[in-house]
């Protein structure tokens, strides 16, 4: 079984990409299995629906690995959507057994978007350094790691998805380009707070809010984040 492991930032195209893979005839998808674990590890973090999230999912890391990440499924491909910042105090060596896909986004857009929910996000909240750390870990072991930039994907969804499927060694399926504008059964319970745009979408499209200006007080965070993004973007699939 091919287990495609998405390591993404928040406020990226990760949910849309999960919806895209869910259209495939050979694929099952899993939505952020470590979200509850993350909230347990970071009790100071106040996310919408926190208590509902914690009561709706497994929070034991080993159980998540055994039952979700490496569990049995009735399709030949599993797409696991994970957030890089959810790997708090987690032994990440399990990723060497997976096909890892890093979804990155220009940090100016990323930080400006996150700032709509968090006034003063930190490096730990946006996942860019964590992504770079995991990518370097795989590089040091001479293991493959695929990088996909959301900006490049939006330039040419058909072309970039075809290139992505080729790199992942799976056939491209045309139905990956569109979906019905509604929730999916695989959505986490947090979808009601975060997935409004994707629930109204029918495919990959750039949001007008992508042009938000960077808040001045987050300029320092942007400057600190940019080198990690640039290093990953150098290896990203191009439109």
Q: Taking the domains of the chain in order of start, what are their residue ranges? A: 2-233
pTM higher than 0.75, yes or no? yes
Report the pLDDT value the prediction gives residue 117, as an integer from 0 to 100. Answer: 80
Report the pLDDT value the prediction gives residue 207, as an integer from 0 to 100. Answer: 74
Would you tell me the crossing angle of helices 128-140 and 219-233 to the nearest 10 degrees?
Answer: 30
Q: Of 122, 100, 88, which Cα lies nearest the Cα of 8?
A: 100
Burial class of residue 216 in the structure, from the number of CB atoms within 10 Å of its CB (0-12 exposed, 13-18 middle, 19+ buried): exposed
Report the pLDDT value the prediction gives residue 224, as an integer from 0 to 100. Answer: 97
CB 151 within 8 A of CB 105: yes
67-98 burial string, b = 16+ CB within 10 Å, else e? ebbeeeeeeebbbbbbbbbbbbeeeeeebeeb
Fold assignment, 2-233: Rossmann fold (3.40.50)
Per-residue pLDDT of the chain (239 residues; tens, 9 = 90+): 999 999 999 989 999 999 999 999 999 999 999 999 999 999 998 888 999 999 999 999 999 999 999 999 999 999 999 999 999 999 999 999 999 999 999 999 999 998 988 889 999 999 999 999 999 999 999 999 999 999 999 999 999 999 999 999 999 999 999 999 999 999 999 999 989 999 999 999 887 667 789 999 999 999 999 999 999 999 999 99
């Amino acid at each position: 079984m091919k287990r495609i492991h998405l390591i993404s930032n928040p406020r990226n195209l990760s949910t849309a990409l999960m919806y895209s893979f869910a259209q495939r005839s050979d694929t099952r998808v899993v939505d952020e299995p470590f979200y509850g674990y993350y909230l347990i590890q970071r009790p100071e973090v106040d996310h919408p629906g926190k208590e509902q999230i914690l009561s709706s999912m497994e929070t034991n890391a080993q159980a998540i690995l055994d039952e979700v990440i490496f569990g049995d499924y009735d399709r030949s491909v599993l797409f696991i959507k994970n957030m890089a910042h959810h790997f708090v105090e987690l032994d990440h060596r399990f990723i060497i057994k997976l096909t890892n896909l890093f979804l990155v986004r220009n940090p100016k857009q990323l930080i400006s978007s996150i700032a709509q929910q968090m006034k003063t996000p930190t490096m730990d909240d946006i996942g860019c350094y964590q992504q770079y750390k995991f990518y370097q870990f795989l590089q040091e072991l001479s293991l493959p790691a695929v990088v996909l930039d959301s900006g490049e994907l939006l330039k040419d969804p058909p072309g970039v998805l075809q290139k992505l499927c080729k790199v992942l060694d799976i056939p491209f399926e045309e139905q990956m380009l569109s979906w019905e504008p509604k929730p999916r059964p695989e959505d986490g319970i947090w979808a009601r707070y975060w997935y409004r745009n994707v629930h109204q979408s029918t495919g990959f499209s750039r949001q007008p809010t992508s042009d938000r200006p960077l808040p001045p007080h987050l300029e320092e965070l942007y400057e600190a984040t940019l080198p990690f993004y640039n290093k990953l973007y150098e290896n990203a699939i191009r439109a």
